[in-house]
């Protein structure tokens, strides 16, 4: 690739030069217990792994999400009756409760779920 020549121009006694800087860095991204991304590239904890990209204040982080999406962190254990109280779901048989997160919906068909919601 040929180097592009950039010229510097003076304006009212001030020397100005326009530049464009790109830095390509290779690093690692780790999916932490299915909750968020940890990376040595930038702060990616707010990023969604399925999207394959994350725009931060200082960088754009890209990755291939093919391997990540094909792995499921959960397994089916059965169907259970639940009681709903507002945004809470209680499953007595499993001794668990869930609260629906009103902010985010996961954009994926991961694990065979058609419309999963964050809880």
H or E, element range at 69: helix 66-69
Vertex 118 angle, CA 95 and 40, to 5°: 115
By CB atoms closer than 10 A (0-12, 13-18, 19+), residue 20 is exposed
* pLDDT (average), residues 38-62: 80
Q: Residue 115: pLDDT band by 50, 70, 90 thresholds?
A: low
The neighbouring-strand residues paired with 89 are: 84, 98
- Predicted TM-score (pTM) of the model is 0.39
pLDDT of residue 35: 58
* pLDDT (average), residues 39-47: 79
If one compares 48 and 119, the residue with the highest pLDDT of the two is 48
Q: Would the pLDDT of 46 be above 70? A: yes
* pLDDT (average), residues 42-63: 80
Q: Residue 62: pLDDT band by 50, 70, 90 thresholds?
A: confident
């Amino acid at each position: 690739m040929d180097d592009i020549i950039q010229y510097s121009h003076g304006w009212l006694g001030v020397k100005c030069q326009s530049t464009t800087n790109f830095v390509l860095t290779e690093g690692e991204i780790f999916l932490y217990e299915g909750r968020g991304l940890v990376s040595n590239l930038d702060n990616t904890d707010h990023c969604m792994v399925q999207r394959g990209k994350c725009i931060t204040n200082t960088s754009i982080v890209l990755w291939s999400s093919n391997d990540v999406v094909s792995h499921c962190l959960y397994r089916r254990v059965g169907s259970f009756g639940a009681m709903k109280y507002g945004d809470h779901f209680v499953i007595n048989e499993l001794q668990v409760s869930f609260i629906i997160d009103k902010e985010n919906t996961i954009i994926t068909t991961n694990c065979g779920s058609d419309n999963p919601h964050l809880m």
